[in-house]
Amino acid sequence: MVGSVPIFQGLSEKTVKAIASQGKELSYSAGDPIVNEGTMGVGFYLLLDGKAEVRKTGKVLASLGKGQFFGEMSLIDELPRSADVVAVAPTRCWALTSWAFSGLVKAHPEISLVMLKELVKRLRAAQSSPTS
């Protein structure tokens, strides 16, 4: 499951297996908070199944589905979580600690390119629906 997500595309099966074993699977019910705005982040999440919403002051910034990631911002800039992420359906995530996340990106820098591409996509989406 972890191996089929876009950010791990291009890595060998052996590498993906080693990466997958570093994280753990977490399950959420609809309505459960996964990440809380303003708290310090310790996890990076891949959504394996289900659906989650990124919300800030009650406004939905994005809907995330299978194969998408979240929680990277706080780990990259070491600032508090920028938004809430809430499960809106029964949802399964694969989560990695911040230290495992940085080790992973250092060992496989190609992952950061895929992640950058997705971040640019999110930035463009935010530009086309400004909040003010």
Number of residues that bind ligand CMP (CB under 6 A): 16
3-state DSSP assignment of residue 86: strand
Q: Is 111 in the site for ligand CMP (CB under 6 A)?
A: no
For ligand CMP, the closer CB: 12 or 63: 63
3-state DSSP assignment of residue 54: strand
Q: Is 98 in the site for ligand CMP (CB under 6 A)?
A: no
CB of 128 to ligand CMP, least distance (A): 11
Q: Is 83 in the site for ligand CMP (CB under 6 A)?
A: yes
CB 53 within 8 A of CB 60: yes
Q: Is 91 in the site for ligand CMP (CB under 6 A)?
A: no
Between residue 37 and residue 56, which ones bind ligand CMP under the rule CB under 6 A? 41, 54
Q: Is 70 in the site for ligand CMP (CB under 6 A)?
A: yes
Helices (H), 26-109: 72-77, 98-107
One-letter amino acid at 87 equals A
- CA-nearest of 40, 8, 5, 4 to 104 is 8
Strands 24-28 and 91-97: antiparallel
Among 5, 35, 93, 96, binds ligand CMP (CB under 6 A): 35
One-letter amino acid at 106 equals K
For ligand CMP, the closer CB: 24 or 121: 121
Q: Is 126 in the site for ligand CMP (CB under 6 A)?
A: yes
